[in-house]
Chains A and B, each alone.
Chain A
């Protein structure tokens, strides 16, 4: 996948209705790209940490010949979707109106 393709997919996700944030991070929880506006990337770091921790925790739950595909964490105000890859995690945060 080319860099332009990655950019267009991220842009598509970022501007989807209901999506409030998109973070791409590695498996160690270090954010590579994010769509948040804060300069110190506080929220991106928090979500990346959460995603990496949950992906790490979920991996042993599978059978030996199975691989983790995605995680969805639904809370009262939002849902965090974590798409897993060998090296990277894609985190999409969508909010619900109350």
Chain B
């Protein structure tokens, strides 16, 4: 990932995390390892859990999309619940996961390191 220019990635991360309502961001590689996340260190197990669960869901969604039409491919996935919404952007090498607030609820058990 450093070879592709870390500055661009940092710019992207900052752009996303500065967006109002965004509570977390994870970038996963193909092995399911979070190579970049905005969780605090003690919340790292939660980040790893997000990686495993949403990577699995994204693969399932991709399978479903290709099953319906062979020429199609998954571009984006949103999972919305009563309290928060998770956006998943799959790619060949990486998976981007963004967690954002729904409405005014602010009670997610995630300790996110906020840049002042």
Chain B residues near A46 (CB-CB < 8 A): 67-68
Given A47, A54, A76, which contacts B61 in the complex, CB threshold below 8 Å?
A: A54
Question: Taking CB as reference atom, which chain A residue is nearest B105?
Answer: A66
Known: A74-B74, A76-B73, A77-B72. A50 touches B64 (CB 8 A): yes
Are A50 and B82 in contact, with the CB atoms below 8 A?
no
For chains A and B in complex, what number of residue pairs have CB atoms within 8 angstroms? 74
Give how many A residues have a beta carbon under 8 Å from the other chain's beta carbons.
Answer: 24
Q: Is B80 an interface residue (CB 8 A)?
A: yes
> Which secondary structure dominates chain B's binding surface?
mixed
* Cα of A57 to Cα of B80 in the assembled complex, Å: 13
* Cα of A54 to Cα of B57 in the assembled complex, Å: 7
A-B residue pairs, 4 tightest by C-beta: A74-B76, A72-B78, A50-B64, A75-B65
Q: What are 24 contact pairs spanning A and B, CB under 8 A? A: A50-B68, A53-B64, A54-B57, A62-B81, A66-B81, A66-B82, A66-B84, A67-B81, A68-B79, A68-B80, A68-B81, A69-B81, A71-B78, A71-B80, A72-B78, A72-B80, A73-B64, A73-B77, A74-B77, A75-B69, A75-B72, A75-B73, A76-B73, A77-B72
Residue ranges of B at the interface with A (Cβ–Cβ < 8 Å): 53-54, 56-57, 60-61, 64-65, 67-69, 71-84, 86, 102, 109
